Structure 1
Amino acid sequence: GQTISENVVCASISRVLSARSQWAEVLKFAASPDLQVVLSNTTEVGIVLDENEDIRATPPRSFPGKLLAVLLARYEAFGGAVDKGLVIVPTELIPDNGTKLLGILRTLAERAGLAAGFLNWLETANTVCNSLVDRIVPGKPAAEAHAALTQELGYDDDLLIMSEAYLLWAIEGDERVREVLSFQQVHPGVIVQADINLFRELKLRLLNGTHSLTCGLAVLCDEATVRGAMENDCLATYIRNLMLADLLPGIPYPVDEKMGQRFGMQVLDRFRNPAVEHRWLAITLNYSAKLRMRVVPDLLHYYERFKTAPQYVALGFAAYVQFLRGTRQDGGKWYGEANGQE
């Protein structure tokens, strides 16, 4: 292959508002006629129903509560005009993220006793899309790489992040969604179509599932990065067998085997990317929730098909249990060690 390196300045952010300290301004912006799209990335634990949510709080506690308050403010500002509905695209890595988010919004609205007119507007004027993002973004470069980029660019960027060149953003939507999300015209990796389930299952199970099952094992083996693991014969063999022998046949969705193999081989190449320093310890964030969402459905389907436990998945879970063992307790909290550091 060839080296792909590109520096992109993100010029799409005009301002940043904090819901915690600037909630009144957030609600004021909800009445903007220019507002068309809401994107979210609150991780797997963000799209949840808060049983004690108060959408009239300043601000509400959960993301769905905040979003519902914004939608209510917009509904009231424009008198329920149908053409003022929004296209809402959650990017959290959970199956049917848009469907789930809309269900939570509906439940919160009903519990808050909101008017039937608003409930109708919520579901008919707004479109909440299921979506899937597939791009490895390790985040801020290590100090040495950051210093080199600062020298190259000629200025210091405190928000600088690094990502791989590969990009897929699959969004479930119709022609209205395609029209509103006009940015999909400028990159072939942004796809708007009626059904994105195949994209989701391949990425969720093979890429993210492999990450989640390997992160604890790699840390226990004192391997800091994904690329480093791919240069370790034992870990590289484990990752390949885990992905192609255990996770691929366990995907709970019809997948052509050759297509799955091609996707898996492509993911393995992405894991080897020498320009991406994706740290295993960062991947352990929300470890339990990720395994439950990404791996358990695959594990159950594998067992249903073959009546036996997948051995590489089992090793990944064993490493997860070992990784979570604390080494010190202080003030009711457990602390552990990784790579010789607490």
Structure 2
Amino acid sequence: MKLTRENITVPAKPIRIVQFGEGNFLRAFINWMIQEMNEKANFDAGVAVVQPIPQGLGELVNAQDGLYHLYLKGIEKGELINKRQLIDCIQKVINPYENYQDYLDLAKEDSLQFVFSNTTEAGISYNENDTLEHIQNSFPTKLTALLYQRFSHFNGDEKKGLTILPCELIDKNGQTLKEIILKHATDWELSAAFKSWINSACTFYNTLVDRIVPGFPKDRIEEIHEELGYEDQLVVEGEQFHLFVIEGDSKIKDILPTEEVGLNVIVTNNQAPYRSRKVRILNGAHTCLVPLGLLSGLETVKEGVDDKEVGSFLESIIKNEIVPSLPASEGIEEFANDVLDRFRNPFIKHYLKSISLNSFPKFNTRVLPSIVSFHQKNGSFPQGILTSFASLIKLYDPKNLKEFKPQDNQEIIDLLANLWADFYINGSTDFEIIIEGVLSATYIWGQNLNELEGLQIQLSQNLKQIHNEGISSLIEEKFSLS
């Protein structure tokens, strides 16, 4: 039996939320929170999901009428937690590339109040080629068009502004999104009244999200279907732990009843301490592990931390390089230890290939700050992290494509493919050419990293050893020095 609203009776809900993104994380984090508030605080919020790219899960979500099951697994206060929950807050998914008018019509929903998003670190970016007249490619331009439609439909009614909480893992995500939207409003020569409405009627919050979400449990889906009695192709798994940090005024507490239902949500005027430790330790460690693990033939995070060689090396990176690169703060070592325990969660399978999505933008956001601050403090570079950096560059070698297919910005994929192709065609042994090309890509790093004296040489040496001798040789060498 298929999981649909014909087979399970659940009430429809008014569209109060537009959500950009239908992926595993939002469904296991934001949609779960909405479900909790709906069930325990009569929040009565339905979600209209916007598929942010042409290819996605929208058709599948609609085929199940927005229904799916969430499994939360882990250990809480010493007790095994294994919760299953039907999530029914999603009312529909719209693919704007196929139904652009349906997308714009979301702006006319009288009950609409919130916007949530998670379009990866690459999602909140400025795209000068998008226009108001045609379907936009970037998330900020899509949202600009939606907001302008709402402003126009309701004649600039201040009460129809939206509360916008982006969940992309970049610093000051809400502030950055607002700045880009206002820039597009200028580019498109939209009225001063619209810009004023954005500033006065709409509220943008900076956020930080934290929950490990492995996603679809493909290895045991038949067992799950038998347990459920339904065919659910959108099952998602996540850890029990969750944290949502919202930076901004406390008015958000009046409209999101998170405290009432006991969610771990922190509203603060400064999320920086929470963000630094979470992004650079947890996410940074994930990002460092991906190329090390994949080149070592490992598939999951747990396999990585349990592997004697890779796991010990990753722990060394966290404790000897990432943590020392951060400002000293109470509880930071405990947080680092907890991260390793969360990685070892035996109840979830987090595939490294899943984490590898947009690896280079993630490396820029999550890992590069640790390289820079470590160098500033010590006058040297963190050797473990540079091993991971070189491994990432090797991972994008086209000769690896049979086992690993990069999912990244096409410009980045093309850059690495061309650098490696030239290397092989020329029969070169000069790895500095590859490294120089990668480090000079300012559209990835926001700067020319060749200007960091000594970085190019060390990365070139690492890449040469990985290419010629394999990743194990370099891990053994560097770990012996740590």
Q: Same fold by TM-score, threshold 0.5 exceeded?
A: yes
Which residue of 360, 385, 393 maps to 1:313? 385
Between stretches 171-180 and 212-221, larger displacement belongs to 171-180
* 1:238 aligned onto 2:313: yes
**Structure 2 match to 1:340:** none
* 1:82 aligned onto 2:158: yes
Structure 1 residue 184, shift from structure 2 partner: 4.8
Deviations 1:188-237 (A, max 9, x none): 31222222111111111001111111110111111111111222122221
Alignment RMSD: 2.0
**Structure 1 match to 2:87:** 10
Bigger Cα Rg = 2
For residues 121-132 of structure 1, the aligned pairs below 5 Å read 121-132=197-208
Which residue of 228, 233, 245 maps to 1:158? 233
Question: What is the number of residues matched between the two proteins?
Answer: 330
**Structure 1 match to 2:365:** 293
Counterparts of 1:78 and 1:326, CA distance in 2: 52
Counterparts of 1:276 and 1:329, CA distance in 2: 27
Counterparts of 1:242 and 1:180, CA distance in 2: 41
* 1:265 aligned onto 2:334: no
Q: Could you list the structure 1 runs, at least 4 aligned residues long, displaced by more than 4 angstroms after superposition.
A: 332-336
Q: Gaps spanning 5+ residues in structure 2: where?
A: 1-77, 403-412, 421-482
**Structure 2 match to 1:91:** 167
Counterparts of 2:153 and 2:270, CA distance in 1: 34
Would the aligned equivalents of 2:163 and 2:202 in 1 still touch at CA under 8 Å?
yes
Which residue of 104, 112, 134 maps to 1:35? 112
Structure 1 residue 328, shift from structure 2 partner: 7.4
Q: TM (normalized to structure 2)?
A: 0.66
Counterparts of 1:129 and 1:81, CA distance in 2: 21
Q: Gaps spanning 5+ residues in structure 1: where?
A: 337-342
**Structure 2 match to 1:167:** 242
Structure 1 residue 185, shift from structure 2 partner: 3.2
Counterparts of 1:56 and 1:122, CA distance in 2: 20
Cα 1:172–1:328 shift into 2, 3 Å: closer
Deviations 1:282-324 (A, max 9, x none): 2222111111111112211110011111121111112112212
Would the aligned equivalents of 2:289 and 2:304 in 1 still touch at CA under 8 Å?
no
Q: TM (normalized to structure 1)?
A: 0.92
> Percent identity among equivalent residues?
33
Between stretches 317-326 and 125-134, larger displacement belongs to 317-326
* 1:326 aligned onto 2:401: no
Would the aligned equivalents of 1:75 and 1:81 in 2 still touch at CA under 8 Å?
yes
For residues 126-205 of structure 1, the aligned pairs below 5 Å read 126-143=202-219, 145-205=220-280
Would the aligned equivalents of 1:87 and 1:180 in 2 still touch at CA under 8 Å?
no
**Structure 2 match to 1:227:** 302
**Structure 2 match to 1:212:** 287
**Structure 2 match to 1:339:** none
Between stretches 70-79 and 19-28, larger displacement belongs to 19-28
Counterparts of 2:401 and 2:356, CA distance in 1: 20
